[in-house]
Amino acid sequence: MALKATVFKVQLQIADMDRHYYHNHSLMLAQHPSENDERMMVRLLAFVLNASDTLAFTKGLSTEDNEPELWDKSLSGEINLWVEFGQSDEKWLRKAAGRAKLVTLYCYGGRSVPVWWKNSQQALERYSNLQIIEIPEDAVKAMAKLVNRNMDLQYNISEGQIWLSDAEQSVMIEPVLLKAAQV
């Protein structure tokens, strides 16, 4: 029998001073059986950093379709933002860059990220609509400690720093831009 996804109820309060975006979101976030808490929290962080009325999670890990796990589509069906996670290969990112106006890859994984970036950088530099952001390992581990089935989280973003907090603790996250998009 196949394992089912675990569903999390998430209340987000976002105060993004960098983008002047101040909004509350109520999400039902499904965690695939193969996904750990760290990866799920990186997905949630990506949602917060790109939050809009049209940003949506897709079927993600549970499907083999050619779509990202998180995207922002226009009403006419154009993909404005395609979000990927981990240390994707060049072939997959090339496909995404050909279909979307902007592709953002959120890398995490500690010491493996610099090795992956060294091996991939030259091939990925040619995609002008691709940006790559690393989430430091200590921040990923700290975010994972906030996981519970009903989360009420506040994200305050200013000058590239993110303060994530719940009722009991807070985490500072400083993403590292590995590659900027030229769009």
Domain range holding 117?
37-147+164-179
| Cα–Cα separations (whole angstroms), residue 145 to 8, 12, 171, 172 | 14, 17, 10, 13
DSSP state letters, 67-128: --SEEEE-TTS-EEEEEEESS--HHHHHHHHHHEEEEEEEE--TTHHHHHHHHHHHHHTT-T
User: What pLDDT digit, counting tens, does each position of 2-48 carry?
Assistant: 678 899 999 999 999 999 999 999 999 999 888 999 999 999 999 99
Tally of CB atoms within 10 A around 78: 11
User: What pLDDT digit, counting tens, does each position of 69-80 carry?
Assistant: 999 999 999 999
Whether residue 19 lies inside any domain: the answer is no
Whether residue 129 lies inside any domain: the answer is yes
Mean pLDDT estimate for the chain: 93
Provide the domain count of the chain.
1
CATH of the domain at 87: 3.10.640.10
> Using CA atoms, how far apart are residues 27 and 11, in angstroms rounded to an integer?
6
Confidence band of 81 (pLDDT split at 50, 70, 90) = very high
Whether residue 60 lies inside any domain: the answer is yes
Confidence band of 65 (pLDDT split at 50, 70, 90) = low
What's the whole-number mean pLDDT along residues 63-87?
88
pLDDT at 143: 97
Whether residue 4 lies inside any domain: the answer is no
Nearest partner of 135 among 162, 111, 106, judged by Cα: 106
Whether residue 25 lies inside any domain: the answer is no
Whether residue 100 lies inside any domain: the answer is yes
> Using CA atoms, how far apart are residues 42 and 36, in angstroms rounded to an integer?
10
Nearest partner of 141 among 37, 17, 1, judged by Cα: 37
Whether residue 153 lies inside any domain: the answer is no
Whether residue 152 lies inside any domain: the answer is no
